[in-house]
């Protein structure tokens, strides 16, 4: 029929369908901020350059200084990588245990407990960090009060001055904030595991641990791959939970990680070029983890 709008509508739908993937990719393809940071990393860029607007390119000198800096190898990288490994392991293990608990509950209690644990995930990182600061405060903290009352400590202890106790608190903070995501994700996978296989293994005398590693874990391997890699990406770039802790903003340099070190060098020392180089290094590390994540997903799909 003449004037039938159907063909034109089809063409518009086809054009929309063709452009939709590019619209979804647009935020990732607009790399100008990343390019700008990389250009800053090739300069000696400070307050003088900001005021004058002049560029002072020094090539890869900032990167050479980073890799020749003992702090990178002795403090920053061990803090960043070691913390990420412990935090990811703790989050995944604890979240999985909570998921197993939720799977054993009936529907009503599962909904109640799931709603309660999601409060921890919904809590802003800043709020949660200040709660942990209060708990471990040297003068009025609940932990010191209990330990002093029990006679374990003779005097108040400052938990934030030591590198190990500082990161122990940060790990507790990260696990508390991140385990609900792991629990809910693993729970979704658990509900899809064949109950007949678990019942058959139980009849054959397999205990809970054996059932988990022989039936549940192999079935949920793609789920565990996703939560481990995503948690790794998140924990590598942790900032607020460290920066807001007493000493974490740079006064205690033994607790710096890559993200906080980049911020301190840029905005406290006014060495924006050097701080940008640290940020580029962190970005490259995260890109490597992301490539591993994507390749893992493709392998699981095949």
- The CA-to-CA distance between both ends of the chain, in Å, stands at 47
For the cut 70, the answer to whether the pLDDT of residue 29 exceeds it is no
Q: Which residue has the tokens 């054959």?
A: 204
Instruction: List the single range of 62-76, 105-119, 167-181 with lowest mean pLDDT.
Output: 105-119
| DSSP string over 229-250 | HHHHHHHHT--HHHHTSTTTTT
Q: What is the mean pLDDT of residues 62-82?
A: 94
Instruction: Look at the domain 85-260 and name its fold.
Output: MetI-like fold (1.10.3720)
| pLDDT tens-digit series, residues 77-131 | 999 999 999 999 999 999 999 999 998 888 888 888 888 888 888 888 999 999 9
Look at residues 12, 109, 128, 85 and name the one whose alpha carbon lies nearest to residue 289.
85
Q: What Rg do the C-alpha atoms of the chain give, in angstroms?
A: 25
* Alpha-carbon span 116 to 180, nearest angstrom: 10
Q: Calculate the average pLDDT of the chain.
A: 87
Instruction: List the single range of 90-104, 154-168, 284-298 with lowest mean pLDDT.
Output: 284-298
* Alpha-carbon span 48 to 52, nearest angstrom: 6
For the cut 50, the answer to whether the pLDDT of residue 1 exceeds it is no
Domain with CATH 1.10.3720.10 in the chain: 85-260
Burial of 102 (0-12, 13-18, 19+ CB in 10 A): buried
**Whole-model pTM above 0.75?**
yes
pLDDT at position 172 is: 95
Query: For residue 301, what pLDDT band results from cuts at 50, 70 and 90?
Result: low
């Amino acid at each position: 029929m003449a004037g039938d709008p159907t063909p034109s509508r089809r063409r518009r739908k086809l054009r929309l369908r063709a452009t939709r993937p590019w619209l979804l990719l647009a935020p990732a393809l607009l790399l100008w901020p990343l390019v700008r940071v990389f250009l800053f990393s090739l300069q000696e860029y400070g307050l003088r350059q900001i005021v004058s607007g002049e560029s002072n390119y020094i090539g890869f000198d900032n990167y050479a200084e980073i890799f020749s800096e003992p702090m990178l190898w002795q403090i920053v990288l061990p803090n960043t990588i070691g913390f990420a490994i412990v935090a990811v392991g703790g989050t995944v293990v604890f979240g999985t245990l909570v998921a197993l608990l939720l799977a054993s509950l009936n529907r009503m209690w599962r909904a109640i407990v799931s709603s309660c644990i999601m409060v921890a995930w919904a809590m802003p990182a800043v709020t949660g960090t200040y709660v942990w600061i209060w708990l471990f405060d040297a003068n009025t903290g609940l932990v010191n009060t209990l330990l002093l009352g029990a006679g374990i400590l003779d005097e108040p202890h400052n938990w934030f001055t030591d590198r190990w106790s500082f990161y122990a608190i940060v790990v507790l903070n990260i696990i508390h904030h991140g385990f609900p995501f792991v629990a809910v994700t693993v729970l979704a996978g658990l509900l899809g595991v064949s109950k007949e296989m678990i019942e058959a293994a139980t009849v054959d005398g397999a205990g809970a641990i054996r059932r988990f590693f022989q039936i549940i874990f192999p079935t949920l391997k793609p789920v565990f791959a996703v939560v481990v890699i995503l948690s790794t990406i998140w924990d590598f770039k942790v900032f607020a939970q460290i920066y807001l802790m007493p000493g974490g903003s740079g006064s205690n340099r033994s607790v710096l990680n890559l993200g906080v070190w980049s911020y301190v060098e840029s905005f406290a020392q006014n060495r924006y070029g050097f701080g940008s180089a640290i940020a580029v290094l962190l970005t490259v590390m995260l890109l490597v983890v992301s490539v591993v994540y994507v390749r893992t997903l493709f392998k699981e799909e095949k």
